[in-house]
A and B are shown apart, each in its own frame.
Chain A
Amino acid sequence: MGMGMMFLGFALLNHLQAVLPKDSMWRHGFANLLLFFGGVLLMLGLILWISKAIKKHITWPRTGYVAFRRGGKYYWKAIAVASIGGAGSVCLIVLAMRHDAMSLVGAVYLAMLVGAYAIFIYRFSREHPWKWLVLLFMVLGLFAMTLIFPGKMVESWQPAMFFVGLTWLVSGVATLYLYLRHTQPPAPEAE
């Protein structure tokens, strides 16, 4: 759900930047960066708040509280993946701008999002095999978009991001619904 909200948020930010008047101060320089990073921070805050509220009011009373061990290795891995991903993205964008091939960047990013969803299912959600169908739906949806906007990756980027985000969010809501249906809080009684 968090990832879905994040992609929807990015699509919304992109849309906001696209619909702003061309001479608006929010489209240039520092104000543009402020709008983007402010939006990202707001989004991350919202995601953290919602996930904390779900844990506190829904999952902990039903299936208990657990804090997993995360040693130094975990954080180094996360930093390494984020650094390599960030550096790779910057290289890709610079390369695409030089060769006027922003469509390629869009295609690579969308492929990465679909790949991330596949990894997410494989690592954390193997007990929900129906999610592979969601992945198939995501791939087919993106393929349909390439037919609707042939050769216009930049134009289709925003609806594609919105589609991926919405699919991811709906899949998360469905998982939460199934969890609520299959788990009940224990009857109050002395431990």
Chain B
Amino acid sequence: MNEQLRAISELDRVIHEPGRLMIVALLAAVKECDFLYLLRETEMNKGNLSSHLARLEEAGYVEIEKTYRGKVPMTLLRLTRAGRRAFEEYRQGLKAAF
């Protein structure tokens, strides 16, 4: 297998899925945001976004914090250190592949 194909085959599949890639790319650019911000930016529905976030949390890439803003419940989301590293490796892998 040549180097480029190997780079493609080694891409992180958790991040590679388009929906999750959008989420990770958005979270990589910010310190933290809430669920509503991601919902607006990605234009996914709540169920889809929740399931992608659950997958990313399971992989240890996203930290989800349930909190309150005044009396209103708020879900805060941020990339973990492992998530940032994985995204950076994904970007490098993609560059190497193309």
- Which A residues are within 8 Å of any B CB, using their own CB? 56, 60-61, 63-70, 186, 189, 191
Contact = CB atoms under 8 A, between A and B. Distances in A.
Interface of B: 29-40, 46, 50, 69, 72-76
A65 B33 contact: yes
A33 to B, nearest CB: 38
A67 B32 contact: yes
Tell me the dominant secondary structure on chain B's binding face. strand
Given A65-B37, A189-B46, A60 B69 contact: yes
A188 to B, nearest CB: 10
Contacts of B69: 56, 60, 65
B34 A65 contact: yes
Given A60-B69, A63-B40, A191-B46, A68 B29 contact: yes
Nearest to A65: B34
A67 B74 CA distance: 14
Given A191-B50, A191-B75, A64 B30 contact: no
Interface centre among A64, A69, A186, A191 (most CB of B within 10 A): A191
A68 B39 CA distance: 17
B14 to A, nearest CB: 21
Contacts of A64: 33-40
A61 B73 CA distance: 11
Contacts of B36: 60-61, 63-65, 186
B36 to A, nearest CB: 3
